[in-house]
Amino acid sequence: MTTPDASTIPDALAAALAWWRAAGVEDGFEDTARSWIAPASAAPEALPAAKAAPDAPPPPPAEPPAIGGPDAQWPVALADFASWWLREPSLDPGRTHDRVAPRGPAAAALMVIVPEPEREDGERLLSGPRGELLGAMLKAMGHGEDAAYLASALPRFTPGADWQALRDAGLGRLLLHHIGIVAPRRILVFGQALAGLFATDSHRSSLSGHDPAQKPAVLPLIYHENRSVPLLVAHDLGVLRDRPFAKAAFWRQWLAWSEG
């Protein structure tokens, strides 16, 4: 066997590479992938947690803050309630300087609850046209305006309030607490939007509507802290002021309820 001349080997390799280059092959290829940079012992990087579980459910929405804050911090004496009502920031997300406090004596013969203060109210609740109507009604009912306890479910004038969201945020519980420290003998509510705060599920569907053609609703008793109080839910004072037929229907309802 003839040993090739060492001087011709570089020329042979250059010729072979030139042949493959002319054929369009300039790089080497292997069937098995190879890492040219990482050490052979390096493990593949783990995927981030978010990519490892792309179908993970989103976190649940945060619970809305409770109206009035923790009930353990609510006033337990009526004498402290009005000042707390004017300054407690969690009662609503709005300003506090235009809030209006409830007024009236404890253990009143009648507690009147309206959805919100009037637009015209300043320091005195129900000092506008609706309050003027209420004063005349209370006089006809045999209740002096200063002898009744007047309260609003919301601390300030709030047009377009979302009553379902307010109920979910605990407004009904706070209102029941307010009633408990007033301890009235009867409760008269003007505004059927408030009925859902008191009614049981069996009543709520027929009481929480806003149709002024509906009759006032009677919930015979409201139960709170082992005590029951007669409750009458009527149309909003604005409806009674603008619709004489609604006022007449309420008066008949009032006579039947008060005599009973």
Dihedral over Cα of 190, 191, 196, 201: its sign: positive
Q: Going by DSSP bridges, is the β-strand pair 187-190/217-224 parallel, antiparallel, or unpaired? A: unpaired
Task: Provide the b/e sequence for 143-157 (b: ≥16 CB within 10 Å).
Answer: bebeebbbbbbbbbb
Per-residue pLDDT of 214-227, as tens digits, reads 455 555 677 666 77
Q: Is the pLDDT of residue 206 over 50?
A: no
pTM value?
0.70
pLDDT of residue 210 exceeding 60: no
Residue 198 has pLDDT above 80, yes or no: no
Task: Please indicate whether residue 82 or residue 193 has the higher confidence score (pLDDT).
Answer: 82
High-pLDDT (> 70) share of the chain, %: 71
188 vs 228 pLDDT, higher one: 188
Distance in angstroms (rounded) separating the CA atoms of residues 154 and 194: 11
* Domain ranges for the chain: 79-259
Adjacency order of strands within the sheet including 217-224 = 149-152, 111-114, 187-190, 227-234, 217-224
Q: Is the pLDDT of residue 28 over 90?
A: no
Residue 76 has pLDDT above 60, yes or no: yes
**pLDDT mean across residues, the chain:** 81
Residue 35 has pLDDT above 90, yes or no: no
**Under 8 Å between Cβ of 72 and 51:** no
Look at domain 79-259 and name its CATH class. Answer: alpha beta
